[in-house]
Amino acid sequence: MVSFGEPRIFGLLVLPAVVGAVVVFRHMTRLRLQRNLASPAVWDRVMGGAPATGLVRMLLWCGAAVMIILALARPQWGELPGEESVRTRDLVLALDVSASMLAADVPPSRMVRSIETAQRLLPLLEGNRVGVVVFAGEAYPLVPLTTDLDAVAAFLSGIYPGMVARPGSDLERAAAAALELLPPDGEGRVVVLVTDGENLQGNVDAAVSAIKDSGVGVLTVVAGTKRGGPIPEVGPDGAVHHKRDQNGQPVITRAHPEVLAAIADAVDGESIDLADRDVVNQLATIVENLRTREAEANRTVQKVEQFPLFLMIAAAFLTAGFLLSPWRRLAVAAALIGLVAAPVGAQQSSPPAAAGPPQPQTPPMSAAPAPATDEAGPALEPPAWQRVVPGGSRRMAREGVSRWRGGEVEGAARSFAGAAMLDPENPERLYDLGTALGAGGQLEVAVPILEQAHAGGVPHAAYNSGTSSLQHQQAETAVRWLREAVLLDPDDVEAKRNYELALAMLEEQQQQEQQQEDEDQEQEQEEQEEQEQEQDQDQEQEQQDPEQQPAPTPTPTDNEALFQALERAEAEAREAMQSPTPQATTVEKDW
């Protein structure tokens, strides 16, 4: 079913309708004048036909105006499922309806003043869940937790003293009944106890212990004064007189603010006086400062915007009107200029791709974030028509969600980057981009972007940043962000589990680093000891006596045989040069 987000725009359809009627009337008038001047045959013979009246061109332009107006009305059809979580606080109002609340020490009476204060407080609690408990000697839930504050106000109007059959005042039973209405755990739970503090039955210490164990906050409102006052009651004859005890003395009921202050102090609560003029604003301020809790998750359905289709039809009508004579030449020239100028502008605006992987820069909060890049080329810029046509950021964000669901992480990152460039002040666009980049492993870019989204108030930005860091073994970053996620939402089980995993991973990495350092130190120590041993051996060898060392063995050379031959020849020459020795002879006589 087709619906329109801005139906008031339909009033502008009167303008193209009036223009169209004027164009048709002008066309009929010109045709009648042409027939009065000459017959169609004469026009064909003289001018090749009757002059055109421009009816088709003007009707095309009027049709384009109609399509533009319909696009401005935001036509919607189709549905996108979504989920919206409702965060609220739970407040139980426990009212004392015992007979002592009829005392008039707080005019007009304690009971009337308490109910009026509660009814004035309800409009300031819009969006929170409120329940009501009434008690005297027994306690009963009157209204369960509900966000219908009008119904709560109606029930408050019907409260009267004595509606609880058992007389007296039992604070222990009142605390137990209030705790039964509240959820068993979670933030944003508080009991507002409106009573005079008289506890005729029950154990106050037991009530305080039960409230403290449940972790519920308590606000006590003191109804009455220490001076007190008598308790009016109606006698059998219809006359009003004061209640008397067994001795015939008037019963004076007095407030006990010390009891209520002790209950509030035991659970870090606060105590307020009902007679204070600003009691309503004080209660509303205290409740407003409490942390909220997620009460329920509602599934929502979002209509799909279809105005781009009407804009495309309008562009087609305008183009067709310009292509008709006498605008045809002008349209062709404009098309040629656009075709020539587009490549030139792209070459001038696109920087040359640097060698190696890209080095993305962390974007400032006031500027568009750096779009996702890949190793094949430069960053993806959003198409020009997405910049011109309103809603380009939302369209590219929806395209990124579709790609994300289809498992195309890189394609989703490119779409989210374009959406962030078109709407840089939107922290949700930064959240989508940072999540996609973190899933793709680009933590150097993803973590700063998610930090900006977290600063912009986007929930789960800290959780996504920590989880991406955990998946990529970045233990320190994971611990820092997951700790932040746990502090933001202590009830998030997944954040707690991932935080424990990150702590375990960080401890393991630190142990590995320490073990590696110990091994490196041991290796260096062993090398140093080996070097010292070698130096000691060298010094001992140098200190030994040189005579004890073996004589060096001469190394034979190739000319040794020649030297020996020369020595033998020299010896033979010396023998040949010696004089001959005379031989001895025998003689008979020596004279």
pLDDT, residue 220, reads: 93
pLDDT, residue 49, reads: 61
Q: pLDDT, tens digit, for every residue of 230-269?
A: 988 877 777 777 888 778 888 888 999 999 898 888 888 8
Spatial strand order of the sheet with 217-222 comes to 139-146, 129-135, 90-96, 189-195, 217-222, 270-273
At residue 2, does pLDDT exceed 50? yes
Mean pLDDT of 438-456: 81
Q: Please give the C-alpha separations between residue 536 and each of 150, 540, 542, 547, in angstroms, as whole numbers.
A: 98, 6, 10, 22
pLDDT, residue 92, reads: 94
**Pairwise CA distance, residues 158 & 571, whole Å:** 155
pLDDT, residue 574, reads: 61
Looking up tokens 């013979």, which residue turns up? 45
pLDDT, residue 82, reads: 56
Q: What percent of the chain has pLDDT over 90?
A: 16
Q: Please give the C-alpha separations between residue 308 and each of 313, 387, 389, in angstroms, as whole numbers.
A: 9, 13, 8
- The 3 state secondary structure assigned to 251-296 is CEECCCHHHHHHHHHHCCCEEEECCCCCHHHHHHHHHHCCCCEEEE
Rg of the chain (C-alpha set) = 50
Question: In 108-256, where does DSSP find H-type helix?
Answer: 110-121, 149-157, 171-181, 204-214
Give the confidence band of 529 by pLDDT, cuts at 50, 70, 90: confident
In 3D, which of 313, 363, 421, 319 has the Cα closest to residue 67?
Answer: 313
Q: What percent of the chain has pLDDT over 70?
A: 76
Q: Is the pTM of this model over 0.75?
A: no
Q: Are strands 90-96 and 189-195 parallel, antiparallel or unpaired?
A: parallel
pLDDT, residue 53, reads: 67
Looking up tokens 């989920």, which residue turns up? 83
Q: Select 90-291's CATH number: 3.40.50.410, 3.90.1150.10, 3.40.50.150, 1.10.1780.10.
A: 3.40.50.410
Q: Please give the C-alpha separations between residue 239 and each of 252, 266, 450, 539, in angstroms, as whole numbers.
A: 19, 44, 73, 125
At residue 132, does pLDDT exceed 90? yes
Check: CB of residue 168 under 8 Å from CB of residue 200: yes
Compare 552 and 451 and report the one with higher pLDDT. 451
pLDDT, residue 85, reads: 53
Looking up tokens 């870019």, which residue turns up? 445
At residue 332, does pLDDT exceed 80? no
At residue 537, does pLDDT exceed 50? yes
User: Cis omega before residue 358 (within 30°)?
Assistant: no
Ranking 12-26, 353-367, 496-510 by mean pLDDT, the lowest is: 353-367
Q: pLDDT, tens digit, for every residue of 106-118?
A: 889 999 999 999 9
**Pairwise CA distance, residues 456 & 448, whole Å:** 12
At residue 162, does pLDDT exceed 90? no
Buried b (16+ CB within 10 A) or exposed e, 497-514: ebbebbeebbeeeeeeee
β partners of residue 133: 94, 141
How many C-beta atoms surround the C-beta of residue 64 within 10 A?
22
Q: pLDDT, tens digit, for every residue of 51-107?
A: 666 788 888 889 999 999 998 988 888 776 655 555 678 999 999 999 888 998 888
Give the max Cα distance, the chain. 214
At residue 40, does pLDDT exceed 90? no
